[in-house]
Amino acid sequence: MTRRDRKRLANREAIRGAALRLFMDRGFDAVSVEQVAEAADVSPSTVYRNFPTKEDLVLGRLAERQAELIDLLDERPGGTTIWELLWNTTLAWLPAADQQRLLRSEVALMDATPALMARLHQMMADWEVPISARLAIRCGRPATDLELRQLTALYCATIRIVIREWAAGNTGDDIGDFGRDAVEALRHLPASALPVT
């Protein structure tokens, strides 16, 4: 990574951090992009260059995390089952302890903001397609395989439910402990036993 890339990434994180602080303090709808720019000490055009929409200030990290999970599916070794691939990928994908507090704040903000929730639901639905495609490739099945598509839909729904329940404080502090039981339930689906190459 070049110095310029590091500076751009640091600038992006500073903008996102300033936005999240303002949104959590005042509410998403009560904060303008201009106020975010002022708090981050950048111009509004810099905010828009990094985050094309106001919603991207909150949901941009989710899109990055979704892409990370798909990359992890490609990187995990074969010689296992689809369920083991999903479980091991999920473990590798879980946020580090220092990122979990931020995740809780982001989820609380999404829950309190209808525009963010609507976009979140669309992002989660869109996420199923590349995951299902990766799983089909990994087990040599067509992308239209109904069992794989069903497993993928349930997996994505499970991830969404686990994160929201954990963020709401309805479980213990460790998202991994809570998520383990929920993802374990997917093991009994027929497609979970398919071999991965």
pLDDT at 123: 92
Q: What is the pLDDT of residue 75?
A: 92
How far is 156 from 85, CA to CA, in rounded Å? 14
Measured distance CA(138)–CA(73) in Å, rounded: 9
| Identity of the amino acid at 98 | D
Instruction: Give the predicted TM-score (pTM) of the model.
Output: 0.84
CA 49 and chain centroid, separation: 22
- Give the DSSP per-residue string, 65-101: HHHHHHHHHHHS-SSEEHHHHHHHHHHHHSPPHHHHH
Domains and CATH numbers, the chain: 1-54 (1.10.10.60), 58-196 (1.10.357.10)
Q: What is the pLDDT of residue 42?
A: 95
| Local mean pLDDT, 10-residue blocks, the chain (197 residues) | 88 94 96 97 95 94 91 91 91 86 89 93 91 94 93 92 87 78 85 88
pLDDT of residue 190: 86
